[in-house]
A and B are shown apart, each in its own frame.
Chain A
Amino acid sequence: MSGLQIHGLRVAFGRNELLKGIDLSVAPGETLVLFGPSGCGKTVLLRAIAGVEPAARANVQIGGRDVSALGPEARGLGMAFQNFALYPHMTARENIASPLQARGVAAAEIEARVAEVAALLRITHVLGHAPKELSNGQKQRTALARALVGKPPVLLLDDPLRNVDAKLRYEMRMELPRLLRAAGAATIYVSQDYREAMGLGDRVAILLDGRIAQMAPPEAIYDAPASVKVARLFGDPPINLLACRPTAGKAGVEVAAAGWQFSLPVDRSAAGRNCLLGLRPEAVALFATQQSGAAPAQIIATTPLHERLVVLLRAAGGEEVVASVLGSVPQAGSTVWLAADAAQALLFDAESGSRIPAAPATLEHAA
């Protein structure tokens, strides 16, 4: 097996177990984005893979070779740190050359390969500078160049775009897919930004409470989150969650919340239980006049978000509903009619938080 495999990775600091048994594998050329709230252990997981986290117990295989007992220098991976971690007393060129130097590559070849990766990252003109003379964007590119230059089979990128401003972040986000494809490494990319996760990840692993709560292609996580927690984390503005108690219906359950009535084709076991109806803000539409199936609500505030408008509303029953719409919106205080796209509605068990799966009948139809 090539690529990266991890089995039963655990990290405990004293009695506090931060990671409680992580299994994952990344294929060569694949990018797995590790996503989770701050403090969930994403960075610690990367460090454990790199072999610089003394508290970690794990079975780590790189390119089919068990490296669990090896020090970080013998694992053959490249890593970019969130704080860049450049060597302050060396020039950018010496920083980038470090992995090649460690392997005793000939000086002429080091020169050529540093020049190549620097050109790729567009930092050729600052190779002679010390880190303190570099802008944040250049530091971040130098750190990436250092991780890439040795063509390692595994790349660990710890939120490398976190500390650069929006413009540089986007520039790099546009370039990264191409760079990573060219590198061909099994890549783990840590991010706190769900859009970045969706944009860069072939798959996304959601790390929550020390475990992987869901691991799937990004769209699958967005469209069918495994739990309320995952749904809330993955999306901005966050998903609307409305308390409801579904009743059994013809092809699933009937749900009433915030003045809406839906038939949802989900497992009927949800009937009679306390549930949460999940509706992404972009699945809520605003109308100035009454529509069939629409419910009245009052606009509290409108806040622009990129090209969309995020509208905070109060439904007739007092529930707060967030809608994300294109176009214009009446001013605060106005009453509007809210329609929700039932096809995008999700139902979660209020107690366990897990998503109610599709009704078995639907599966039969599919078969």
Chain B
Amino acid sequence: MTLTLSNLSKTYPGRHGGSVQAVRNLNLTMEKGEIVALLGSSGCGKTSTLRMIAGFESVSEGGITLAGRRIETLTPDRRRVAMAFEGYALYPPLTIEENIGFGLATRGLDRAEAARRVREMAEMLEIGPILKGRPAGLSGGQQQRASLARALARDADLHLLDEPMGQLEPQLRSVLRGRVKAALKSRGLTAVLVTHDQTEANAMADRIAVMEAGVLQQYGPPSELRDRPANLLVATFLGEPPMNALAATVDPAGLHLDDVAEDVLALPGVPMPRAGAKIVLGVRPHRLQLGAGALRGQVISNQWLGDQAHVVLALGPRILVAVAHRRVAVRVGETIPFGFAPDHAHLFDADSGRALAHGMVAA
């Protein structure tokens, strides 16, 4: 276990007396060499968590253990963590090269080795041509890559990456994700990635911790979050396009979709809650099959995006999206049959959002 967060909490004094709990009883462990993403929308507590690990924020309750040492009371410089800041935090008077090499020089790495590292990082992040420049003259994306290079060049027990690619052009982002992941893996580095972008979390992380309102919602590998989401929030937060969610009522013979005048939808093999229960049925867009099935929907749009098709369907007042990895020959306005295999159904409690059953788990 490299990093252990135990019962970690952060409480800020509120504006009108009282207090705001940004992080509540967070328990999380990471293995050495693992990449973990803290994923959530803004204000979910992920940045507070990161700042507590780095030592920029005091811990209200709980403890942090890193590589066998309790670190929550240490000053940031003694925690042996490296960090790439969302706001870059480059040293303005130094060149980019000096910025990247800064952490290395102060840690007594020999000169040739330090220079080699800087070159390697610059090449990986495509900032070779700006090494001699100073931060002020650079774009946000360039500064962000320099900040990332500085963090990655260092040896540390833990690398903290705070929204490390938020300012990059999308074209560069998808390639750099692969390269940074490969670099972390080849050096056996342990990294915490804080991001609001589920694509980035999915692309880079071995495990993802989804946070919302200061509470850890689910922690597991991307495949587990995708196939067995713990609740509706995780289910709809991950996946692009997001999971289709339909309000439904459990019937002895299956499900009755609310507001949709269709027959009861039978889901053989899926463990059903008691009849009459209000639930939400979730189906991932690429699990919807067009052209055959028990449901009928009107095509609202059919968009070919170069490598996939998005077909939007109206099912009564509900709107669903289906994804296919080939062109689909349906026209706007047409009513077509569609459906899904019971294996791909997810059932959630309508009130709490808690997952009740997953088709694939039952299968």
Contact = CB atoms under 8 A, between A and B. Distances in A.
B20 interface: no
Interface residues of A, number: 47
Interface of B: 41, 169-171, 174-175, 177-179, 181-182, 185, 196, 198-199, 202-204, 222, 236-237, 239-242, 286, 300-301, 303-308, 310, 312, 319, 321, 323, 325
A244 B116 CA distance: 30
B240 A166 contact: yes
Contacts of B303: 198-200
A320 B176 CA distance: 12
A304 interface: yes
A301 B178 CA distance: 5
Given A166-B198, A170-B240, A198-B305, A303 B325 contact: no
Residue with the greatest number of chain A CB neighbours at <10 A, chosen from B177, B179, B305, B319: B305
Contacts, number: 115
B306 A198 contact: yes
B182 A174 contact: no
Given A177-B301, A198-B303, A312-B179, A305 B203 contact: yes
B236 A167 contact: yes
A327 B241 CA distance: 18
Interface stretch (A13-21, A22-30, A235-243): A235-243
Interface string A172-200: 00110110000000000000111100111
Contacts of A351: none
B41 A303 contact: no
A280 interface: yes
A116 interface: no
B237 A307 contact: no
Interface in A20-50: 37-38
A305 B62 CA distance: 35
A300 B300 contact: no
B301 A199 contact: yes
Given A198-B305, A236-B170, A311-B178, 20 more contacts: A165-B41, A166-B242, A167-B237, A170-B241, A175-B319, A178-B300, A199-B301, A199-B303, A200-B303, A235-B171, A280-B306, A300-B178, A303-B177, A304-B202, A307-B323, A310-B177, A312-B175, A312-B182, A322-B178, A324-B307
A332 B185 contact: yes
A306 B199 contact: yes
Nearest to A234: B306
B222 A304 contact: yes
Contacts of A235: 171, 306
B301 A236 contact: no
Nearest to B307: A282
Contacts of A129: none
A303 B198 CA distance: 12
Contact of A167 (B178, B185, B242, B305): B242
B305 A238 contact: no
B204 A303 contact: yes
B305 A303 contact: no
Contact of B196 (A165, A170, A326): A165
A273 interface: no
A363 B354 CA distance: 60
A288 B301 CA distance: 38
Contacts of B325: 307, 326
Given A178-B300, A304-B202, A280 B222 contact: no
Contact of A303 (B181, B196, B310, B312): B181
Contact of A233 (B171, B204, B307): B171
A193 B304 CA distance: 14
A235 B321 CA distance: 21
Contacts of A233: 171
A307 B323 CA distance: 10
